[in-house]
Amino acid sequence: MGYLVQAVAYLSGVLLIGGGLYLVLRGSFPGWWQKRLTWPLVRVTPTVAHLQGWAAVGVGASILAIVFTSVAPEGVSGLLVLLAMVAYLVGLLLFLFSTWLSRRPAS
């Protein structure tokens, strides 16, 4: 069961990084996404999409760092956990900031 959880975590981290890079490079969400998939966002500008993409990359990198702690040596595992915590925090802050930007009144 442990390998299955690791595989699911690895896959979700890779998909988050891929989706995040898509948003960073494209600067907009796909047209086929329904409004409920971009729920916290009100006005999606290219800046908001880029920040959302970087947030996804950060959270995906955090997940991958945690997955790799199981196969890394002990000293490296500690650094990976620290990297995962920092990447997650950066991703969370970017997500919150971009959500705030999308809800800010237009000037």
Residue type at 95? F
Q: Has this prediction a pTM greater than 0.75?
A: yes
Residue type at 33? W
Q: What stretches of the chain adopt beta strand conformation (E)?
A: none
Give tens-digit pLDDT for 35-62. Answer: 888 889 999 999 999 999 999 999 999 9
Q: Chain-centre distance of CA 95, in angstroms?
A: 8
Of the two residues 35 and 17, the one the predictor is more confident about is 17
Distance CA 18, CA 60 (A): 9
Distance CA 38, CA 48 (A): 11
